[in-house]
Structure 1
Amino acid sequence: MRILQAVALTVVLGGGLLGGGVAQAAPPPSSSPDVTRGPCAYEKTPDEPAARPVRLPADPRHTPDRGHPEVLLSTNQGPIPLVLDRAQAPCTVQSFLHLVQRKFYDETTCHRLTAYPTLKVLQCGDPSNTGEGGPGYRYRDELPTDLAPAPNDPTGQRRVYPRGTLAMANAGPDTNGSQFFLVTSDSVLRPNYTVFGRITPEGLATLDRVAAGGVAPNPDSAVDGRPALTTDIARAKRVG
């Protein structure tokens, strides 16, 4: 389903351009039952069915854009509390909370750990545990504009996603779904990934343990693959 989503971060690291660097305008409202009618225009993806059945999120005329809802990821490696930012990415937060409420992330596994020198993240959010699964819908980017330029970048196009950043994985422009990544150390990427919150210090302590365990042995890479310390999300719950 989302093969590119599963390798998106590596492609960017390797210099390939995956997605545009400018947020796309919201599509016009649609009367189709496969597209919500609000400004987020969540759109069903029939060719990429949901890894776990879930309906389209609510899409009010005015998407909530104030506040910092809190979500707790309870994992077998320890708690990962998250603080979301509605002002920074209202449609993304709306979708993420919808999936949390519908238990989409419960009993799932974080399927990917990267440990490159300039890219260290844990990727989660796919109930199929393949790196290809999603919620059966997609929505537009809400790309960051305030990230610091990457040092020593001759292209001038890469930015620093700071340690503790919570961001969406994608397979190209406006293909956000359910997969997200947690930045364990400052990472260099093109600004093509929506930032929608942060990880608390307690959550970073859990992630540090996972990162210290390294990548599970695999024939393709010693620095990109499943985490050696299997990280299962038992439950995702809104707590604030």
Structure 2
Amino acid sequence: MASSRDRQRKLARAKLDRQLARRAAAAKRRRQIQAAVGAAVVLALIVLSSAWALGAFDSKAEKKAAADVCVWTPQDASGNTNLKDVGTPATTGLPTSGTRAMTITTNQGGPITAELDLTSAPCAAASVAHLASRSFYDNTKCHEITTEGALRCGDPSGTGIGGPAYSFYDENVPSAPEASPSATPAPGQPPAYPKGTVAMIANPPGANGSQFLVFFKDFNPAKPAYPIIGKVTGGLDVVEKIGALPTVDNGSGAKVKPKTDVVIQSLTVGEPTTAPTASPSAG
């Protein structure tokens, strides 16, 4: 009998050991699963935190840096004392369509009004507007009445080499007209620079600053070089009157200096507009 009871106790003990072993194994598996889940959660949090830091969940994507519309090249004012440092215009966010009104008041009669072409010459318009905002042109002289039929203005020094301490590239230079057999523009073609045209002039060519031309008669060269920036919309009769003034030697042998001072008392530029404006007139 004792032997039978011993066997039953051993069997019961073995069964209990197996149950305990199974429970221990199950508990171990649970711990492993919990550890794996915890590690996955931690990894997910790390990934989400990194993504958040990098802006993946920003409600608005960051805008790309705006591209430059114009480039302003610094000029050495210490090497040319006729240059005047008044800062530079903006390079981005500039209007590239429509027009801006420009008003020139001189000592020679009523105001001369013009429109600057923002589509064809946005950088020239931006430069003129910037300089006007700094009163750069005020109380300066138009120092030449050119042999090409234009007033040359915008150089405070009156030397032809003055301007701001920056320059910018050519825009909107007319194409060369179709040549006749004599290598001059064929007759009947519209002029490259009709009367009333406003254009930049640079010294050296291509390094535009502040100087500009206002044509009081048609000009049609074989090789156009002046970038057109706008046209006169009013006061063309004043421009023609100034163009008829007698001229004297400018000190370098050229008889282009107005005998009577032509002073720009003020030059202002209005805000950009896309509305149609008046065509050039003689009034």
TM-score with structure 2 length normalisation?
0.63
**Conserved in 2, the CA contact under 8 Å of 1:150 and 1:160?**
no
Measured in 2, the distance between the counterparts of 1:197 and 1:152 equals: 32
* Structure ID, larger Rg: 2
Give the match for residue 164 of structure 2. Answer: 135
Shift of 1:238: 2.2
* Residue type of the alignment partner of 2:98: G
Aligned counterpart for 1:166 among listed residues 191, 198, 206: 198
Which structure has more helix as a fraction of its residues?
2
Is 2:83 the counterpart of 1:51?
Answer: yes
Q: Which residue does the alignment assign to 1:70? A: 101
Q: Quick check: 1:50–1:137 contact (8 Å CA) kept in 2?
A: no
Instruction: Give, as a single letter, the amino acid of the residue that structure 1 aligns with 2:143.
Output: H
Shift of residue 153 of structure 1? 5.5
Cα distance in 2 for partners of 1:74, 1:210 equals 13
- Using the alignment, how far apart are the partners of 2:270 and 2:71 within structure 1? 27
Residue identity matched to 1:187 = F
RMSD: 2.6
Q: Does 1:105 align with 2:134?
A: no
Following the alignment from structure 2 to structure 1, what is the Cα–Cα distance between the partners of residues 202 and 182? 23
Structure-to-structure mapping, 1:188-207, within 5 angstroms = 188-189=220-221, 190-202=223-235, 204-207=236-239
From 227, 231, 235, the equivalent of 2:262 is: 231
Amino acid of the structure 2 residue aligned with 1:56? T
Q: Cα distance 1:152–1:101, how it changes in 2: closer, same or farther (>3 A)?
A: farther
- Structure 2: 5+ residue stretches without partners: 1-66, 272-283
The normalised TM-score by structure 1 is 0.73
CA 1:90/1:227 → structure 2, altered by over 3 Å: closer, same or farther?
same
The Cα offsets for residues 168-199 of structure 1, whole Å up to 9 and x where unpaired, read as 00124530001011111011332221101001
1:200-215 to 2 correspondences below 5 Å: 200-202=233-235, 204-215=236-247
Residue 123 of structure 1 pairs with residue 156 of structure 2: no
Structure 1 residues 147 and 205 mapped into 2: Cα distance closer, same or farther (>3 Å)?
farther
Q: Equivalents in 2 of 1:236, 1:213: separation in Å?
A: 21
Post-superposition shift, 1:231? 0.7
